[in-house]
Structure formats: structure tokens, C-alpha cells
Amino acid sequence: MLKWVARHFPVLLLGWAVRYFPILRILKDRMSSGGLLLDIGSGYFGLAAFYRHPFVGCDLEFPQIPRKPMLPVRCSATKLPFADAAFLAVVASDVLEHVPPEFRPAVVQEALRVTREVALFGFPSGPSAYESDRNFRDDLKKHGIAPYVWLEEHMLYPFPDRTLFDGLTAEWSVECLGNENLRFHEWVNRREMSRIAKGLLGILLTVAPRPVEALLRLADRSPYYRLIVVVTRKAPVGGEPAC
């Protein structure tokens, strides 16, 4: 899979792989076969870099032509234009930290409303993660590089945490998993500042995809940069009640 990613999306490199591969592994284990996925805040590719089946990607806008097999929909995450339980699973990867805190509960509730089985929310979490991004922004400025838009947005609000999911009703179970070691995250950020390093990483992904995928699993260790929250219906819509 990583070889296909490197060939079609070479600019994504390790940063996107370390973010999405754990989510796809969880989806494979937690959801039944068949059915459509929704990727909230997908941008113009989202899951398309790693997921070869059709899925719906929604965002406020698509600055570039969306990549296949995404089915793009322009909308707000606080008011999704989909029916209840319209999707087998919903993913919101690195979205909530860009949303003002007062609107985050609405994003969570909308994601849960439209999923039949499970919703996954991945986001940087905690003071250490926030400080890491702030230091990265300052380093970019010192080198005369304009900070990335996503990085500037990270500085606008405190990062989300587990408490965002404390008020869910009894029909949901909640599990939290750490994702991406903080120091590894910082290392990846700095490597991707260099065109040479990006090119070398692209070659590595192409010639040795399986070892890279195995190494990325080692990056999921404390202290974590990102938290993945898995919210599962105890009795999926259309199915039998869970034991």
C-alpha cells in the first residue's frame, strides 16, 4: 500500500502516513464489510491517499481538484447534509483543532448522527503538542519561511481533549488511543522542510514500503502528539443489540 501512496501522493510522505494508517487499521477491525465511508474535513484528497474504495469527502471548499475515488461534497461539519446513519463509518482526522471550541460538540454530534457503526476522531491534544507546534512555527519564521496555514490555525484555539466526549449518551462506547510520538512528529516536520529530505523519504517509501509501515507502528508510543478517539455504537443501526 505504501508503494502506491508514494507513487501517487509523494508529497504526503510520513506525516500523512503516520496519521491515517492507524485509523485505517482501526476501521478494518471495528466495522463490518460493505458500506460507504465519510471523511470530514478531507481537503482535496483525505483518505484517497490510502483508501482505494469510493468514499465521500466533505469540506468547506476544495482548493484543488479532489482526487479519486473521493466523492466530494461542500458543506459545514456542524450541519452535514446527510441522512441519519447514512454511512457505515465516519472519520474526522485533524479537524477538531481547527474548529472554535464552542462548535466542536456540534461536529462530534453530527458525525455520530450520520454513522451506523463507528466514528473516529484524530487530533493533536495536550499542552506538549500545542507547544511543539508553536515552536515549529517560530522555527519557520526564524528561517524566513511563512508558517503553513494549518499551523497558524493550530495556534488559534486550545487543542481538544478527551473531555469533549464525556457527555455522550449510553448508546456509545468511547476508547482513546495515542498516535504519533511527539519527538517523531517534530522530526517529520523538520525533514519535510527540506526538498532533499522529502525526495529521500519518497524513495524510501517506494523501495521499502513494508519496513516503513512496520517502523511507523513504532512511532505510536508515548509521549503522544495526537489522540485518536474511537466512538462505537453499542448496537449498530440495522443490527442486533450488542451482548
Domains delineated in the chain: 2-233 (3.40.50.150)
The confidence score (pLDDT) of residue 241 equals: 34
Secondary element (H or E) of residue 128 = helix 127-142
Which whole number is the average pLDDT over 92-96? 96
Residues 177-196: tens digit of each pLDDT: 999 999 999 988 887 666 65
**115 versus 52: which is more confidently predicted?**
115
Residues 126-176: tens digit of each pLDDT: 999 999 999 999 999 998 989 889 999 999 999 999 999 999 999 999 999
**pTM higher than 0.75:** yes
pLDDT over 80 (residue 14):
no
Measured CA to CA, the distance from residue 70 to residue 98 in angstroms comes to 22
DSSP string, 66-130: PPTTEEEEE-BTTB--S-TT-EEEEEEES-GGGS-GGGHHHHHHHHHHHEEEEEEEEEE-SHHHH
Measured CA to CA, the distance from residue 92 to residue 90 in angstroms comes to 7
Secondary element (H or E) of residue 23 = helix 13-30
The confidence score (pLDDT) of residue 11 equals: 43
3-state helix, strand, coil in the chain (%, to 5): 45, 20, 35
Secondary structure (3-state) at 21:
helix
Secondary structure (3-state) at 215:
helix
pLDDT over 50 (residue 10):
no
Q: Is 4 exposed, middle or buried, given 0-12, 13-18 or 19+ CB atoms closer than 10 A?
A: middle
How far apart are the two ends of the chain, measured CA to CA in Å? 35
Residue type, 152: E
Which whole number is the average pLDDT over 194-204? 61
Secondary structure (3-state) at 96:
helix
Instruction: Tell me the C-alpha to C-alpha distance, in Å, between residue 173 and each of 40, 69, 112.
Output: 21, 30, 12
For the chain, what is the radius of gyration of the CA atoms? 18
Measured CA to CA, the distance from residue 117 to residue 242 in angstroms comes to 12
